Amino acid sequence: MTAGSVTVGADARRFSAFAALGLLVAVVAVWSVTLGASRIAMSDVLAAIFAFDGSREHLVVRTLRLPRAMAGLLSGSALAVAGAIMQAVTNNPLASPGLLGVNAGAAFAIVMAMSFIGVGSSSAQVWFAFGGAGIAAVVVYALASVGSAGVTPLKLVLAGVVVTTFLSSLTTAILIFDQTTLDAVRLWTAGSLTGRSLAQVAAVAPYILAGLAAALIFRRHIMTLSLGTEVAASVGQDPVLWRGLAVAIVILLAGGAVALAGPVAFVGLVVPHIARMIVGVDYRWIIPFSAAGGALLIVLADLIGRTIFANQSFPVGVTMALVGAPFFIWLARSRAGDAR
C-alpha cells in the first residue's frame, strides 16, 4: 500500500465524518426550533419557513426561534474557527478569542458605542466590534512581547487574561453608571441568543460568512503557518503577510460573533481540540470540523439552558463556562505534565 493511497483513504474517512457531523448539526438546529415554552411540530416549523401564513406558530418560529438558531449556528462556527486559527498561528493550544482578549475587546467597544454615542443597530455595532477586537489583539501581543524571551505561549495567555480582566472591568463600570445600556445588554454581556431578530442576524451574517469562507479558502496556508515561520518561508510563503491575514480573519469572525451573541467564552478553545482529536493536526480538516462543531456546541448549549431553565432567558455563555472551565483546567494540567 502506497503513502498516497493511505492519504486518500484517511481523507475519505474524514470527509465521511464531516458529512455526518454536518447532518447532525442540521438535525439539532431544526429540532431546537421545535422546542420552547410550547412545542411546535416539525411540519409547522417547515411550513413557517417555506409557506408562512402569519399564524401564531409561524410568528413564533419566524420572529423568535429561527433567528435564535441561526445566531447560534453563525456565532458558534465563527468562534470555533477563530480559535482554531489562533492556535495555528500562535502555535499555542491554549489560544482562543475568549482567553486572548479579543472577545472582551469587541464587547467593550460595543458597550462604549452604545453608551456614549447611542449606536443601536447591529450593522453599526459590528464595526465597533471589529475595532475593539483588533486593538485588544494588538495590545495582548505587545504585552506578551515584553522581555528577552519574546512571545511565548504562557506569556500570551497571561497577557490575554490581564487584558480580558481589564476590559471586562471597564465594561462593568460603564454599565453600572448607565442603566439604559445595562437594560439593553444585560443578557448579551453574558453571551446570549435571546431576543435575536432576523434583521440582526442578517446584519452580521455577511461578515461571519466572509470570514468562514476566507478561513476555508486559505486553510492550506494556515496549516503551513502552524508548522513554524521557517517552514512557511521555505515553501515560498510570506509568514508576516499570511499571519496578518489570519489575524484579520480572526477579528472578522470574533467581532461578528460577539456583535451577534455576546462574548461567549471557551468555544474557540474546546472545539478545535475536539476536532484535533478526530482528524489529527491537519488544519485543512481542523478548520471545517471546527466550524461544524462550534455551531453544534452553541445550539446544544442553548438548548440545554432552555430545557433545564424553562421559560427563563438563560445565557448560553453560562452553559459554555460550566463546560469550558473544567476543560481548560484539564488542558492546562495536561500541558504542564507534558512539560515535566
* Model pLDDT, residue 207: 96
Q: Are 270 and 297 in contact (CB under 8 A)?
A: yes
DSSP assignment, residue 41? -
Q: Are 167 and 137 in contact (CB under 8 A)?
A: no
> pTM score, two decimals?
0.90
Mind listing the pLDDT tens digit of every residue in the chain (340 residues)?
455 555 677 788 899 999 999 999 999 999 999 987 788 888 888 888 888 888 888 898 999 899 999 999 999 999 999 999 999 988 888 888 888 899 999 999 999 999 999 888 888 999 999 999 999 999 998 898 887 777 777 788 889 899 999 999 999 999 999 888 888 888 888 888 888 899 999 999 999 999 999 999 999 999 998 888 888 888 888 888 888 899 899 999 999 999 999 999 889 999 999 999 899 889 999 999 999 999 999 999 998 888 777 666 778 888 888 887 788 777 767 765 555 5
* Model pLDDT, residue 305: 83
Q: Any residues with CB less than 8 A from the CB of 189 and at least 6 apart, and which? A: 107, 111, 171, 175, 262, 263
Please report the DSSP string for 234-285 in residue order: HTT--HHHHHHHHHHHHHHHHHHHHHHH----SHHHHHHHHHHHHH-S-HHH
Q: Which domains does the chain have, with CATH numbers?
A: 12-82+97-335 (1.10.3470.10)
Distance between CA atoms of residues 340 and 336, nearest Å: 6
For the four alpha carbons of 193, 218, 155 and 327, in that order, the dihedral sign comes to positive
